[in-house]
Amino acid sequence: MKNGEKIRLNKYIAMTGYCSRRKADELIEQGKIKVNEKTVKDFSREVSNQDKVTIFGQHIFVKEKYTYIKYYKPAGYITTKHDEKGRKTIYDILPKEVQNLKPVGRLDKASTGLLILTDDGDLINKMTHPSIKIPKVYRVCVKGKIEQNDLIHWAKGIEIEKGKIAYAQAQVEEFENGNTVLTVILRQGMNRQIRKMADITGHPVISLKRIQHGCISLTGLKKGAFKYISQTQINQLKKYISKIENNNIADFLYLNINS
């Protein structure tokens, strides 16, 4: 954010990583946000980095430099900071130096693979916003032999919950020992989407690993390890997101798929 540049208050809050723009709008409506010590309820309010923005008395601000990592999540951990049920979370095993970063999306407890974590709230918002549809690629092993009709069913859409239609592109990689290995591409972010689609079509998931999110892949990581993402890669990712936002990418060509 350039010095003195003015942007909408909800976008500013999202850029700090405090919460999403939608949640920021809720906080504005509830009168929980102050700008320069004055409560704001105007959704069109613009602020710059010279303004003092506080939420519940906490001063928040857009950082000049952000941190980005890719992490190979192992099975058995949920993707959240705190859990009311006392389940183990990724923050129980992440090193202290990256404990302040937030995940870009989630993986369920049994799933493994790529998680991007950052303190860049604007990037998190763009990569998870349902209108932008940043692709995620998974390597999935399911029970039984998947037929072409099943894949067509997945592509056309399956009602996984009342009123919720899930879509996925999938292709068969191999069939061995009575199970099918698939590459699956999602552009949605529904809870346990692949598992529910697989259950409905009679092929329960045996294992599920995310291998790519946008143009960031799992390549070079061992399970449980993390790696800092270079600024060059982040710049490439942001250009990629911009092209999707502007409909300049007709389809998603995934890279490093055998990682």
Query: Annotated catalytic residue: which of 108, 122, 150, 251?
Result: 108
Sign of torsion, CA 122 127 129 132? positive
* Angle between helical axes of 121-128 and 231-245 (0-180°, round to 10): 40
Residue 108 known to be catalytic: yes
Residues annotated as part of the active site: 108
